[in-house]
A and B are shown apart, each in its own frame.
Chain A
Amino acid sequence: MMRFLSQMFSIKASEWEAVWYFFLVMLVFAFGSSIARSLGMTLLIEHLTGAILPQMFILIDLSALFSLLIYAHYTKKISCLHILGLFLVGGALFALVARFLFFLPYAWVYGLFFVGFFLFYVLISIHIGSVVAAYFNAVQLKRVTGFINAGLPIGGALGGVALIVLLTWVHDPAWLILLMSAAYGVAFGLLRLIGKKLTPIRSLHERKASTSNVNPLQELQRAFFFIINSKLMLYMALGLMLFVISSKLLEYQYQALIYPAVFPATKQRAAFFATYEIFGNLTWLVLQLFVTSRLIIRMGVGASNLLHPVLMFLVSIGLLFRFGFVAGVIAQFVNQEMRGALRTPANNLLFNAIPPNMWGMTKAFINGIAFPLATLIAGLMLMAIKDNLSEPAQIFLLPLLSLSFASAAIFMALPQWAAYNEGVFGLLNRNLFAQGSKAKVGKLDSLSKMVEDKLCARDPQETIAALEMIRVVKLRGFIHAVGQLLVRSENPDIKRHCIATLSAMPGSEDVSTYVLSALKTEHQPQMLALMMRTLARHPLSQEDLRQKIEKYLLHPSPQVFIETFLCLYRNPHYPDKTTLEGRLLIRLEHPELPNFELYLHALGEMHNATYSALITPFLDAEDLSIRLAAFKTHIALLQGNLEFYKQNFIEALASPAKEMKILALQALKDCSPPDDWQPIIQLLGAKDRLLAKESKELLQLNLNSAKEALITEVFLPMISVDERFEILSLVYPLLHHEQRQQLKEQANEALRQFIRHTGLLMLYREHEAQSTAKALVEKILQEIADTYLNALLTEITYLANENREFYLRVSRGLLSDNKANQGNVLEVLSNATEKYLIAKILYYYEDRPSTLEQLSEIYSNLFGESLDVHSQNYRAELLKIDHVLLKAALHFSEQRQLHHLHLLYESEDVKALLGIVH
């Protein structure tokens, strides 16, 4: 039975429990509300006449407005389920009290009940969608929303039937109000069950109690600014207003102009309405159950929201050209039934792209402000038309107006579609990446004032923060303040930051003056070196160079000597550079000197190829820092004439030192393309991003030559995810159709391997006895599975013409433990242009298999073959995986259990990990 229902409604077995609960809540709520609505209207008209209706509607709107303000405030503090429970209990108690008020001899109690009931009805209707959304992720919601919402028309119809039957038995209809109380009570009971049995995957309220005391009006102000700043919310609010106006215009046409003309007698009209209600509700139910979800899943949330405005546009055309009964009935159907069956569920799904903690506030704003405002505009327009135009003129103008507003609604739905996709993507970013908000910098004047104050602060940390602010923001006008601080401060941290700040300022004699002044009293070698480095960037006179700087060449610290040397050597006004070079060359004859690499570095500054012979002995030095410095200097001295040494640079790529590799890659940019690109391509997957970046730049520079090697590499099965990603970033646009198909097949294989390794992990976890290596093996298997998943996502990223940001968000989202994040990822993926692979991922993740049986079923459905891993063969299958650490861990645990090792065919690396060889 459940399988049949699952197939019919595309709802997964694991989702049915929650779906049934919410369906029943909807049904019971609609049952009670239907009875209360009919009785409320009947009693109101009986005791207060129909003339009171406009005032009643105003009272309902006003009370809803104020209640929604309070609602918006508390949705952030109280869980959504508790709020709904509060509304239902409130409604039930209100109906009980109303029943006893009806004993009083006052007619106003009926008005009070009418307004009160509608207030609860509006609040529950607005909030109930948020509660459902909290228990499903974005993709699940698209599937389940149709079935759950079907509870509304079914409950409404059952309520109507129950009322008709009971009215023949109960003498005083006012007693039947108690049915509303009972129905709301049952709905509350169901909520308690939901609270106990289900766990929400999205939280609407803030878990940590807010410490700020924001009143409801400020809350509303925030909602306004949120809506203004959120494209999606802005389009949603404007779209709702356009819908309400065109809906009211259509309603007036069939209710006020068409039906009274076709059915002049009240009885005839009532009979027509009764018939229409039966068929209308039945069609709504059928659409809700069998069309809504399928349509939303197939078209996506953004596109589905385009459908209702299009339908309104079409019926407006119908009314414009064929104003009459048929057009009127269709208009009513689109306006009423299609609104419930299509617009409301599709529109509610747009909230998936909004942070859940903003749902209450924004819903309150949209329903409490935008909706009444649109009603007011439509009402004023209708009053003006009715009072000033003849009926034939109205018959022409009203369809034209509804057509215009429907067109505007279509145009609004298009950017809303794009904003929704951006919003879901952005939400993923917010959840996974943006933990802190961007710092806001106020006006520059106030910032400068604050920095001035902080420079004189007693706390050194505040002063340092101010100096950093000047350096980072590049605030002007602080040279003197910072320079004076440098001269007078004795705190080394402050002095260091002063120098860094002055160093970042544009060349100025003022900077030189302050640094030279500070130089006089400074004794710390590190500080002196920093000062020299700063002076090298600012103008100095020949006199300063000779009298104030040259003497530091005699300083015992190598750092001070080198920085002084460089300061003098780089200065165009320094006259005696030959002597200066001599001083350096003397030191280079003594490799035993401390920090010898510094002298090598300085030699590179001379860019004199004749000195390269001095470097050669140090290229093979044992000390890595000296070897590195020699290598760097060697490249600098060759001044671009590197071709002769190309092979040396390629050999340096195998060096254990990453700096050496980076230098080699940089040097290779000035050489002709190498014959073998393999060592360079492999560096694309280096853990160090700088190394990968240099390698990529070199490949980019020689793309024509490296293209074939890159394409060959990308189709190898076991390259790292990073390497594959970077290769594709270089060559994907150059791949022809067959190669892209091959890439798709490779991605398909990655998914197959991902599921297979997940199965092996499940089997290992379940059947392997506890051992010291078990946790390690599980971790390795999980990592292998994740690697396959990332390989698949990498290829999807390129096949869908997306970028690195897309990949990072989707990858992190799927690998996170948060179900809401995973749901958002699936929604983002379902909006991407690559469909074949994404459909498979969605199929897997929507089922989220937790047992091997479920996994096997998914595997055979996806790949048309059996998974073929089971408790008898999983260990042998694990040993077939080409992973050194995994094999070693498996052998280790086997040894611990069986006291022997089978390592005959294992590699030396596996044996080394097991301590067999070294």
Chain B
Amino acid sequence: MIPLEKIIVLNRLPLFSALKTEDIYMISTIASEEVYEDQHILFYQGDVGDKLFIVVSGKVQILQERDGKQFHLVTVRENDFLGELALFDAETRTATARCEGHCTFLVIERNDMEQLAHEYPAIAFGFIKVLIRRMREMMKTREL
């Protein structure tokens, strides 16, 4: 994936779309492309989260284990992402993520994001605004 394609992918995401293009460019410099085959486990439930995965192509099954049984929660598709809170805290993953078919991701690691946010606080601020907006929307949906 060429650098511009990373920027295009990041700009399409609601998570980053409110950021300025120069900020998205900065984020693209810390985003790396990762490719996995079918059935690859991105992370297990209980792992410490330290990466944000952006699905560029393919699908990811989100599975949760309860009382010894595995439940399918949701399927994350192209132009969606998983693990955004991992960019800001080191809580454990609440579900397992498994690739369905050949998948390409853009991956951002927490350490890189922290360093970027330290150098460019405007990015962190913009990112926090987007997260808060998402949380508000989720709360509104719940109220409805």
Contacts and interface: CB of A to CB of B under 8 A. Distances in A.
The answer to whether A binds B is yes
Interface of A: 656, 658, 687-689, 772-773, 775-776, 779-780, 783, 885, 888-889, 892, 912-915
A912 B4 CA distance: 9
B3 interface: yes
Nearest to B19: A779
B21 A914 contact: no
B21 A779 contact: yes
A775 B3 contact: no
Nearest to B119: A658
A912 B119 contact: no
Interface string B1-38: 01111011001100000001110010000000000000
Contact of A913 (B4, B20, B22, B121): B4
Q: Give 9 closest A-B pairs by Cβ, nearest first.
A: A915-B2, A913-B4, A687-B122, A913-B3, A776-B11, A888-B4, A687-B120, A780-B21, A892-B4
Contacts of B7: 776, 885, 913
B13 to A, nearest CB: 11
Given A656-B119, A783-B20, 6 more contacts: A658-B119, A687-B121, A688-B120, A772-B5, A889-B4, A914-B4
A776 B121 CA distance: 23
A501 B104 CA distance: 50
A772 B119 contact: no
Interface in B24-69: 25
A468 to B, nearest CB: 21
Contacts, number: 47
Given A914-B4, A915-B3, A776 B120 contact: no
B121 A914 contact: no
A772 to B, nearest CB: 5
A779 B7 CA distance: 12
Nearest to B12: A775
Nearest to B118: A658
Majority secondary structure, A binding face? helix
A776 B12 CA distance: 8
B119 A914 contact: no
A776 B119 CA distance: 24
20 contacts: A687-B120, A689-B121, A773-B4, A775-B8, A775-B11, A775-B12, A779-B11, A779-B21, A783-B20, A885-B4, A885-B7, A885-B21, A888-B4, A889-B4, A892-B5, A912-B3, A913-B7, A914-B2, A914-B3, A915-B3
Nearest to A910: B4
A912 B2 CA distance: 9
Given A913-B3, A915-B2, A885 B25 contact: yes
A888 B5 CA distance: 10
B122 A915 contact: no
A661 B8 CA distance: 32
Contacts of A780: 21
B124 to A, nearest CB: 11
Contacts of B20: 783
A255 B120 CA distance: 74
Contacts of B25: 885
Contacts of B121: 687-689
A783 B21 contact: yes
B86 to A, nearest CB: 23
Chain B CB within 10 A, most for which of A687, A689, A888: A687
A772 B8 contact: yes
Contacts of B5: 772, 892
Contacts of A687: 120-122
B139 to A, nearest CB: 14
A656 B8 CA distance: 26
Contacts of A914: 2-4
A556 to B, nearest CB: 25
A574 to B, nearest CB: 36
A776 B122 contact: no
A773 B8 contact: yes
Contacts of B120: 687-688
A656 B120 CA distance: 11
A687 B120 CA distance: 6
A824 to B, nearest CB: 23
Interface string B98-125: 0000000000000000000001111000
Nearest to A686: B120
Contacts of B2: 913-915
A440 B11 CA distance: 42
A780 B25 CA distance: 12
B21 to A, nearest CB: 5
Contacts of A779: 11, 21
A885 B10 CA distance: 14
A658 B25 CA distance: 19
Contacts of B12: 775
Contacts of A688: 119-121
A687 B119 CA distance: 9
A687 B20 CA distance: 12
A687 B4 CA distance: 23
Contacts of A889: 4, 8
A785 to B, nearest CB: 13
A406 B13 CA distance: 63
A885 B121 CA distance: 22
A755 B4 CA distance: 28
Contacts of B11: 775-776, 779
B54 to A, nearest CB: 15
Contacts of B22: 885
Nearest to A771: B8
A487 B8 CA distance: 56
A341 B51 CA distance: 67
Nearest to A772: B8
Contact of B8 (A658, A689, A776, A912): A776
B21 A915 contact: no
Nearest to A918: B3
A772 B122 CA distance: 26
